[in-house]
Amino acid sequence: MIPAAFDYVRATSLDDALARLAAGGGSAKAIAGGQSLLPLMKLRLARPETLVDIGRLAELKGVRRLGDGRVSIGGLTTYDEMLRDMTLHRYGLLADALPNIGDVQVRNRGTIGGATAHADPASDMPAILLALDAEVVVRSVRGERAIPIAGFFQGAFASALEPDELITELRLPGGREDLGSAYRAIEQPASGYSIAGVAAIIGARSGDRWGFCSVAITGVGEHPYRATAVESAILGGASFEAAAAHACDGVTVASDIHADREYRAHVATVQVRRALEAAAARLA
Amino acid sequence: MAEHVSLVVNGVPREVDVEPRRLLVQLLREDLDLTGTHIACDTSQCGACTVTLDGKSVKSCTVLAVQADGANVTTIEGMATADGLHPLQAAFWENHGLQCGFCTPGMIMSAADLLARTTDPTDDEIRHAIAGNFCRCTGYQNIVTAIRAAATTVRAGAAG
Ligand SMILES: Cc1cc2nc3c(=O)[nH]c(=O)nc-3n(C[C@H](O)[C@H](O)[C@H](O)COP(=O)(O)OP(=O)(O)OC[C@H]3O[C@@H](n4cnc5c(N)ncnc54)[C@H](O)[C@@H]3O)c2cc1C
Ligand code: FES
Ligand code: FES
């Protein structure tokens, strides 16, 4: 299968890439690892007129600690690079999820910026970013803005990103000693995409109450979402099992050949409970 | 407009003019006649087209040739040396790691990425490393045995 013809430019710097995307006016698209875009182009579900290759922009690669204690992951950092990065090892939910995203070949090329921009409703990384309350730093010729992840995902393959904007960084909170986190998913066996994937962070326990709980779910709704009903049930003293029953509250649960609505909703509930249990176990 | 691509394939510098939409697998098979790299699914799933790009395994049906400009590519044809088969190739042969052989070039290139990371993989690590490579014949067991055996050969070579 061969993509429709396009013009190709290899960006020489971030500014060069941004200028070319702006000049393309919506018909130009960035390509990073190509692990989502190329399959779509081969099926001709995507037909960009110009591809701007950002794959060599070293300034968008790597993980660093910011002055305020947060951790910044460059948009072009691959899953494989993230797996090897010691700074990220302490995020339990990343350690759980990263080795199971795609396969080695996909992780060698796929980037966190590409996964975030693509906004696949079953992608794993969006749930993790949501649970962590990450910040998406984007740039265009108009300048830089930081988008809170809470409003970033707006629908299937739809996000707050403008066509001429690039994700330069994902910023994660520094990680608190009194919180534990985990990621649990039931995957569709052929593709590895989540039927229901759950990122959970819990902790700050005082007496018999949890002081902090964050739960995000992918693969289930129209886009990955924070399961706020689960979170408030936990903070209100509910058991993991009872709270997990609220996994799909207010969400139109997806139904497809891999999992019908009822099964997917059930799996989401089970994964929420397991992710919460695993996150809590990491605290001990 | 044609793009000029220079890359090193199996140690040999190559210069090719390609359309931007040309896939790396087509460059290898059609422009360079290296047909050991197979195309099966053509949808990024099966791993038959796996080669290494600067040492890391990639699915060459999901990489543009222009993205490989300046890179070092190794295909199955680059594994054997004048001294004989690569330890992975020898181990697949000795351990019946293939039946029809269609998946084998990709399997071996994925295994090469693994052995570059660790020469002492557990069976779980081996299985995890070939999760992106489908085999419709062997049931995988002998592939795992072959990769384990190759790792032993590589370790013995490093020690000797
Ligand atoms: C076989 C296979 C299995 C997979 N399994 C999983 C899985 O189990 N879980 C999972 O979550 N994902 C899975 N994926 C998807 C994979 O994680 C993503 O394809 C990958 O991370 C996307 O990154 P990329 O660099 O390849 O993006 P590209 O394909 O290069 O780009 C994707 C989109 O993002 C845009 N883009 C890229 N980088 C940026 C940027 N920095 N700023 C703005 N826009 C940008 C592009 O214009 C394009 O629209 C799988 C993919 C394959 C092929
Ligand atoms: S042919 Fe490339 S992954 Fe199947
Ligand atoms: S040996 Fe036939 S597909 Fe693997």
Mean pLDDT of A64-82: 97
Of B62, B113, B133, the CB nearest to A34: B62
pLDDT, one tens digit per residue, over A125-148 is 999 999 999 999 999 999 999 999
Tokens of A47: 């037909």
Same domain, A63 and A127: yes
> What percent of chain B is modeled with pLDDT above 70?
99
Report yes or no for ipTM above 0.95: yes
Q: How many domains does chain A have?
A: 3
Burial of A189 (0-12, 13-18, 19+ CB in 10 A): exposed
Same domain, A104 and A208: no
Residue after which a domain boundary falls, among B58, B78, B98: B78
Domain of residue B102, residue span: 87-159
- Atom 2 of ligand 3, nearest CA residue: B100
Residue after which a domain boundary falls, among A172, A204, A236: A172
pLDDT, one tens digit per residue, over B115-158 is 999 999 999 999 999 999 999 999 999 999 999 999 999 999 88
Please say if the pLDDT value at position A166 is more than 90. yes
Same domain, A43 and A88: no
Q: Which residues in A lie closer than 8 A to residue B30 (C-beta atoms)?
A: none
Question: Which CATH number does the domain housing residue B92 bear?
Answer: 1.10.150.120
Does residue B107 have its Cβ closer than 6 Å to ligand 3? Answer: no
Residue A2 in any domain: the answer is no
Question: Which CATH number does the domain housing residue A210 bear?
Answer: 3.30.390.50
Same domain, B11 and B46: yes
Pick from A92-96, A176-180, B124-128: least confident? A176-180
Kindly report whether the global pTM for this prediction surpasses the value 0.90.
Answer: yes
Please say if the pLDDT value at position B1 is more than 80. no
Same domain, B110 and B52: no
Residue after which a domain boundary falls, among B21, B46, B78: B78
Chain A nearest CA to B68, separation (Å): 10
Q: How many domains does chain B have?
A: 2
Looking at beta carbons, which pairs linking A34-37 to residues 24 or more positions away fall under 8 Å? A34/A109, A34/B62, A34/B63, A34/B64, A34/B67, A35/A102, A35/A106, A35/A109, A35/A110, A35/A114, A35/B44, A35/B62, A36/A110, A36/A114, A36/A115, A36/A118, A36/A120, A37/A114, A37/A118
Same domain, A80 and A64: yes
**Ligand 2 site: residues with CB under 6 angstroms?**
B 39-42, 44-49, 59, 61
Q: What are phi and psi of A243, to 5 degrees?
A: -65, -40
Q: What are phi and psi of B84, to 5 degrees?
A: 130, -165
Q: E strands within A173-256?
A: 179-187, 194-203, 212-218, 225-226
Q: Does A39 touch chain B (CB under 8 A)?
A: yes
Mean pLDDT computed over every residue of chain A: 96
Mean pLDDT of A62-67: 96
Please say if the pLDDT value at position B160 is more than 70. no
- Residue count (chain A): 284
| Å from CA of B26 to ligand 3 middle | 22
Residue A202 in any domain: the answer is yes
Residue after which a domain boundary falls, among B50, B78, B106: B78
Q: Does A236 touch chain B (CB under 8 A)?
A: no
Mean pLDDT computed over every residue of chain B: 97
Q: Cβ separation of A106 and B132 shorter than 8 Å?
A: yes
Confidence of residue A267 (pLDDT cuts 50, 70, 90): very high
CA A46 to ligand 1: nearest atom: 49
Residue after which a domain boundary falls, among A152, A172, A192: A172
The confidence score (pLDDT) of residue A190 equals: 76
Same domain, A276 and A227: yes
Mean pLDDT of A50-55: 98
> What percent of chain A is modeled with pLDDT above 90?
94
Confidence of residue A188 (pLDDT cuts 50, 70, 90): confident
Q: From CA B129, how far away is CA B52, in angstroms rounded? A: 14
Which residue in chain B has the smallest CA separation from A1?
B42
- How many Cβ contacts (< 8 angstroms) between chains A and B? 79
Confidence of residue B109 (pLDDT cuts 50, 70, 90): very high
| Å from CA of B11 to ligand 1 middle | 30
Same domain, B122 and B155: yes
Same domain, B71 and B91: no
Q: Which residues in A lie closer than 8 A to residue B131 (C-beta atoms)?
A: 103-104, 192
Please say if the pLDDT value at position A189 is more than 90. no
Same domain, B51 and B112: no
Domain of residue A165, residue span: 58-172
Residue numbers of A between 3 and 32 with CB closer than 8 Å to B: 3-8, 10, 31
Q: Cβ separation of B58 and A2 shorter than 8 Å?
A: no
Chain A nearest CA to B141, separation (Å): 19
Question: Which CATH number does the domain housing residue B52 bear?
Answer: 3.10.20.30
| Å from CA of B108 to ligand 3 middle | 12
Residue A228 in any domain: the answer is yes
Please say if the pLDDT value at position A10 is more than 90. yes
Mean pLDDT of B99-127: 98
Same domain, B147 and B119: yes
Same domain, A15 and A40: yes
Confidence of residue A284 (pLDDT cuts 50, 70, 90): confident
Q: Which residues in A lie closer than 8 A to residue B42 (C-beta atoms)?
A: 1, 42
Chain A nearest CA to B85, separation (Å): 24
Same domain, B8 and B73: yes
